[in-house]
Amino acid sequence: MPLFCDVALAVPLDMVFTYAIPPGMEPVIGGRVLVPFRQQRMSGIVVELHDRPPQVNASPVRIKKVIEALDLAPVLDEQLLKLGNWIADYYLAPVGEVFRTMLPLSAEFKRSVAYRITDEGRMALHLAGMSGSPARSKRTPEQQLIEFRVLDYLAEREGVREEGLRGATRVGRALLAGMVRKRWIAREDVSAARDAARLVKVAVLLGVEAAEASPPLDGRVARPHTSKSLNENQRTLVETLAAAGGRLPVEALRGLDVPRTTLGTLVRRGLIELIDEPQDFTASKLKPRQSPFEFEFSMAQKEALTKIGEAVASRKFAGLLLHGITGSGKTAVYLACMRQVLDAGGRRSCWFLKLG
């Protein structure tokens, strides 16, 4: 079992980075791994597995460990890795950035940060509860109130993602950064790979089953039982969800004449839950457009297409210049050439640069 792996990261550096492989983890060449890089997490491509410990001036150095192997099988096979290295060498581009552009859609990486309260933050919250806000604080009373609201929110939770924390406490990024500098809260990178499936946000009414079990006798829309008072906008949202069976896409609720903040208020009060569901796609019934290849090429275009096809078939690198004024059909020749390569079923690669 190899002890180390070299990883190409999407950073503007012409090098790969060596990481230690934890026991039991089996990364594969051409597969993605999640690794620490500076103060964040990054996804990279494994380009080599080996047992050579990294050294600087013949002295061993401390090496970070791979966090997670994201793929059991390569997402870039041997030929694609070879192509990526050639592109990086020919165009003087960082190999990690080249590989990132070659990854499939399922390799999307979601960046996210989370916050948690520290011991210093718990002490500040305790002192504020005992003696109030410090008089020497440089924050305004409103800002101090938001800070303690954040501390109080985090004190009841293990860790909260930034978007959830900002939505629940209405805190700005600048104020969060200040609390991190004071060491009241800690900021952690929780970025991870995600499924590339398209999702839709759905609002689910909590307690709607109880309302449907005892519908009113006068035929009105049943309201879920709650002891909390609702204003007119909140009641409109709740009744709309109840009438729809207790769940609706959030986008459908946007059409109601209520403020957007109303939904967030009901979520915080525990009356509505937001979940992600796979989005359904409906195939279009429109007739497909006519293919751009279904037209008659001119003699000059046919001659150019033949020469390009012969160059591709030779499997040797060569540069060809296609000359023509604007609107002469150069793009049509490019597309037709690429179609020939794809129809041939080969693994050849064509690169075109259009000028003018």
Structure tokens of 228?
């909390």
Low-confidence ranges of the chain (pLDDT < 50): 196, 208-227
Q: How far apart are CA 174 and CA 145, in angstroms?
A: 15
For the beta carbon of residue 2, count every other beta carbon within 10 angstroms: 14
The 10s digit of each residue's pLDDT in 264-303 is 888 888 889 999 887 665 555 556 555 555 667 888 888 8
Beta strands in 111-256, from DSSP E residues, in sequence order: 113-117, 160-161, 185-189, 192-193, 199-205, 247-249
Q: What is the pTM of this model?
A: 0.47
Structure tokens of 196?
């590339």
Residue 257 has a pLDDT of: 85
Residue 193 has a pLDDT of: 67
Burial class for 74, CB neighbours closer than 10 Å (0-12, 13-18, 19+): middle
Residue 211 has a pLDDT of: 41
The 10s digit of each residue's pLDDT in 58-71 is 677 889 999 999 88
